[in-house]
Amino acid sequence: MAGLLRTASTRIPTVLRATAPRMAQQRFVQTSALRRHQAVNPGWPVMYSITYDKPGWDPEMELEYDVMPRDEFGVPAHIPPELSTTIRHTYYVPPQYYPFLKKLGDDTPELKPYMDKLMNGELTFDDYEEMFYLFAKPLKIHRPRIAMPYRTAEEMKKS
């Protein structure tokens, strides 16, 4: 291709080459203004455009991500205690767990009232604490699985 262009330029008389105005070729790629909000995905057609009266304002930056202070029941702290304590706070369990809870209550008669309350949405935090401390058992520690330096001399004799 370069050879063809050279031969074509040699065919033009020097008089025409000297007098012909040299025009620089310019090519522009048309681009739209950069949009900085979530309505636009690059490569997808824009269905709608959001504009704001405050130039350069980014609504994504204005969102509040601070943690709202809450009391022990999860009620926002700006609600006064006189009002929030009148609310009956109970535990909610999705219905797909009901068969398991029912079986657990049937297998352990002491747990049955607590499981029934939980399935009916009536188990309060006080009930949960009562249930927990009634049925909590001490943790069994299997000493041979603890690393050797922490075993006493008597334990070493046993193994």
Structure tokens at 102: 């029912």
Q: 74-120 pLDDT, tens per residue?
A: 788 888 888 887 877 788 899 999 999 999 999 999 999 999 999 99
Greater pLDDT, 25 or 125: 125
Q: What is the pLDDT confidence band of residue 147, given thresholds at 50, 70 and 90?
A: low
Q: What is the pLDDT confidence band of residue 23, given thresholds at 50, 70 and 90?
A: low
- How many angstroms separate the CA atoms of 23 and 126, rounded? 88
What is the pLDDT at residue 45? 67
CA distances from 23 to 3, 4, 20 (A): 22, 21, 9
What is the pLDDT at residue 88? 79
Q: 25-52 pLDDT, tens per residue?
A: 666 666 666 655 555 556 666 666 677 7
